[in-house]
Amino acid sequence: MGERYAVRAEGMEKRYGDKHALAGFGLAVREGTVHGLLGPNGAGKTTAVRILSTLVRLDGGRAEVAGLDVVRQARQVRARIGLTGQYAAVDEVLTGRQNLEMFGRLFHLGGRRARVRAAELLERFDLADAADRGVGEYSGGMRRRLDLAASMILSPAVLFLDEPTTGLDPRSRGEVWEAVRALVADGTTVLLTTQYLEEADKLASRITVIDQGRAIADDTPNGLKDLVGGDRIEVVVADRAEIPRVVKTVARVCEGEPEADEEASRVHAPVTDRVAALTEVARTLQDEGVAVEDIGLRRPSLDDVFLRLTGLRTTAAEEAVAA
C-alpha cells in the first residue's frame, strides 16, 4: 500500500550570507494529516515554510508539494496551497465578512462566489456572530481564525500554518486548535510550525524536530516520548528530610534506579507495571508513616524529548570538536 505525501523534501539548503538557515533539512508529510514542525526560535521553521510555499528560493536540495516541484512548478504549487503567517494580513478597518469577500475577489472568485465562500468560512470558523463587526474589535483568537479562514478561500490541498498560536492566550489557542482539527477533518493537509511542544503533541500525528537548520528527529508524539524512556513514578514529600526513606522504598518496589530532586522534594523512578508500582509505593509509604504531598505517574513530555534531543546535539558537537 503506497503512502501518499503532500510534502516531500530532501537536503534543503538555504544560506543568508554566512548564516546557514537550512543545512540539509528534509521531511515527508502524509496526505490528510497534521504534521508538526517543532523547533526553537531561529531553527529554520519559517525558512522551510517559505521555501515550500515558493516565496523564497531554494539554494540546494529539492522539495515537492502536492507532487509538484516547488522550483520548476512554482505557479502550480501556489494554486494548491494556503499560507498563514505569524502576522495576520487582515484589514483592521473592515469587518470579518468584508475581509473575506475582499480576499475572494483578489483570488478572482467573482462577487457572488466570494460572498458565498465568505459566509461558509465565517460559519466554519465560528465567526458568524462577529461577521459584521470591525476586525479592530476582534480578540486575538478571533483574528487568528479569520486569518485561517482567509487562507482557506480557495480550499487549498495543503495549508502551511507558521506559528498560528504564538502570542495567543490559552483560551484563544484552544479555539485555533479546534479550527485546525476541523480543517483536517475536511481533508486538508496541514504543516504547522510551532515552538510549543504541547501544541505539536495535541495536533500533530507526526512531528519533525528541527534545530539549526536540520531535522534532528521525526516520529509520532508517542515515539518521541519513548526516546526519553517510559513512564515514571513521582513522589513529592511534605518534608525534604524524608527523601532518603522514600528513595529506599521506591528502590525496593520499582526495578529502576530512583532519582531524587531535593529542590522539589521529589523522588522519581522508571516503572514498567504502572498501576502495581503506584499502589505498592503508596501503600508502603503510608505504612511507614511518610507524609506524601503528591504521588503519581508521569509520561515523559515533549519538553523532555526536546531537551534530550538538543542536549544530545550539543554533546555530539562537543565530541566532534574534542576529536
Ligand X SMILES: Nc1ncnc2c1ncn2[C@@H]1O[C@H](COP(=O)(O)OP(=O)(O)O)[C@@H](O)[C@H]1O
Contact residues toward ligand X (CB under 6 A) are 16, 19, 21, 39, 41-47
Of the pair 21, 215, the CB lying nearest ligand X is at 21
Q: Name the DSSP class of 301.
A: P
Of the pair 86, 301, the CB lying nearest Mg ion is at 86
42 binds, among ligand X, Mg ion, none (CB under 5 to 8 A by kind): ligand X
Query: Which residue type, as a one-letter code, is found at position 53?
Result: S
Least distance (Å) between residue 162 CB and Mg ion = 6
x/- track of binding to Mg ion for residues 32-71 (CB under 5 A): -------------xx-------------------------
Instruction: Please count the other Cβ atoms lying within 10 Å of the Cβ belonging to residue 223.
Output: 13
Of the pair 44, 104, the CB lying nearest Mg ion is at 44
Of the pair 45, 173, the CB lying nearest ligand X is at 45
Q: What share of the chain is helix, strand, coil (3-state, %, to 5)?
A: 45, 25, 30
Of the pair 198, 226, the CB lying nearest ligand X is at 198
Of the pair 33, 194, the CB lying nearest Mg ion is at 194
319 binds, among Mg ion, ligand X, none (CB under 5 to 8 A by kind): none
Least distance (Å) between residue 31 CB and ligand X = 24
Query: Which residue type, as a one-letter code, is found at position 322?
Result: A
State whether residue 72 is helix, strand or coil: coil
CA distances to 229, 234, 261 from 270, rounded to whole Å, are 8, 9, 14
16 binds, among ligand X, Mg ion, none (CB under 5 to 8 A by kind): ligand X
Least distance (Å) between residue 309 CB and ligand X = 15
Q: Is 236 left (phi over 0), alpha (psi -120 to 50) or beta?
A: beta
In the bound complex, which residue of the shown chain has the CB atom lying closest to Mg ion? 46
Least distance (Å) between residue 25 CB and ligand X = 10
State whether residue 34 is helix, strand or coil: strand
39 binds, among ligand X, Mg ion, none (CB under 5 to 8 A by kind): ligand X
By CB under 5 A, is residue 265 in contact with Mg ion?
A: no
Least distance (Å) between residue 43 CB and ligand X = 4
Least distance (Å) between residue 40 CB and Mg ion = 10
Quickly list H helices, the chain: 45-52, 74-78, 96-106, 111-124, 140-151, 170-185, 197-203, 221-227, 243-253, 274-287, 302-322
CA distances to 147, 166, 173, 198 from 140, rounded to whole Å, are 11, 10, 9, 19
d(CA 5, CA 32): 9
43 binds, among ligand X, Mg ion, none (CB under 5 to 8 A by kind): ligand X
Answer positive or negative: Cα dihedral of 170, 195, 35, 69.
positive
Least distance (Å) between residue 234 CB and ligand X = 32
127 binds, among Mg ion, ligand X, none (CB under 5 to 8 A by kind): none
d(CA 281, CA 259): 15
Q: What residue ranges bind Mg ion (CB under 5 A)?
A: 45-46
